[in-house]
Structure 1
């Protein structure tokens, strides 16, 4: 995610602003789209950093040097300093996913251990044994 470039953002007159992870563009909510547009448009380059050739995409979240992506720790510190914490949103998203997806499937989708996703399933108060039984009955 930290390797995102400005070419991964699509601005359209007839379509919402979108970000592309892989192949599928994902529409951004209007407030997030405005922040991303500001991030791209208000970018200033210190004189000590050479300009990149026009054909090279610019990193959406540049680090130091600007030709490398920002580290996760530096981005986290910057967001926290500005009052944005990801924990609540991440936890809410995990609970929502765990309520709808069995632990084994969730683990495979997110690259997590089944033990971790099983804990999220239990926190979401979902028991997926009925799903497993239905899957074994149909095979």
Structure 2
């Protein structure tokens, strides 16, 4: 995978037989399918920009990528700790569900940078498992509202970005894998897969109509 494009090929679950999830998973969340307009070009542009834009805070950039690439809602991002990310055999993986997901190179670098900062903070604050992202107030864990505000300041439309990411992932992965890697309910994963298939079918039909010669039936 090219280090300049974290979008293409960025969702790589570890082998299903690899039992490394330990106790780092979240309860499955019930999402009801796409409810917002979707703009994949905008999502891809933001995902290409965030790993390399040093004018932005690293933790905000990482949070943005977790939403744009892995459809993680602010509430889930706010609960992540440094222990949800592991580096083994040269690969950096995050546990969002039962099966870890491997980060592409630019996102992995950003994640490792954030872990180093947060572990240093943990030593000073004498805490064993620091949140991956710092809270808005000293001594307080980050809240879902804080995460959402940081993402909005990056110009990310939360519901639209999540819907777009989930739709794309649903075209690439079987529903069971999608559920296990993202930590969502299997019935919801199936709904997303069906919705994504419907979108592809409607798009193909529209292209076919527009490319037919005038008068063709």
Fold match (TM-score > 0.5): yes
User: Is 1:77 aligned to 2:149, yes or no?
Assistant: yes
Give the Cα–Cα distance (whole angstroms) in 2 for the partners of residues 112 and 11 of structure 1.
28
Go from structure 1 to structure 2 and tell me whether the alpha carbon gap of 1:37 and 1:85 turns closer, same or farther (over 3 Å shift): farther
**Secondary structure of the corresponding residue to residue 33 of structure 1:** helix
> What's the counterpart of residue 141 of structure 2?
68
Go from structure 1 to structure 2 and tell me whether the alpha carbon gap of 1:60 and 1:109 turns closer, same or farther (over 3 Å shift): same
Count of aligned positions: 115
- Do the aligned partners of 2:80 and 2:131 also contact (CA within 8 Å) in 1? yes
- Note the residue ranges of structure 1 that are not aligned, 5 or more in a row: 127-139
> What's the counterpart of residue 41 of structure 1?
116
- Do the aligned partners of 1:96 and 1:124 also contact (CA within 8 Å) in 2? no
Q: Deviations over 1:29-63 (max 9, x none)?
A: 11111111222223475xxxx8133xx21111233
Go from structure 1 to structure 2 and tell me whether the alpha carbon gap of 1:92 and 1:4 turns closer, same or farther (over 3 Å shift): closer
Name which structure has the greater RCO, CA cutoff 8 Å, separation 6+: 2
**Secondary structure of the corresponding residue to residue 63 of structure 1:** coil
TM-score by length of 2: 0.39
- Do the aligned partners of 1:6 and 1:58 also contact (CA within 8 Å) in 2? yes
Q: Deviations over 1:63-99 (max 9, x none)?
A: 345453431x321221232355553464154155168
- Note the residue ranges of structure 2 that are not aligned, 5 or more in a row: 1-75, 203-217
- Do the aligned partners of 1:99 and 1:124 also contact (CA within 8 Å) in 2? no
> What's the counterpart of residue 94 of structure 1?
167
Task: State the structure with more CA Rg.
Answer: 1
Task: From the two aligned structures, give the one with the greater helix fraction.
Answer: 2
Go from structure 1 to structure 2 and tell me whether the alpha carbon gap of 1:41 and 1:91 turns closer, same or farther (over 3 Å shift): same
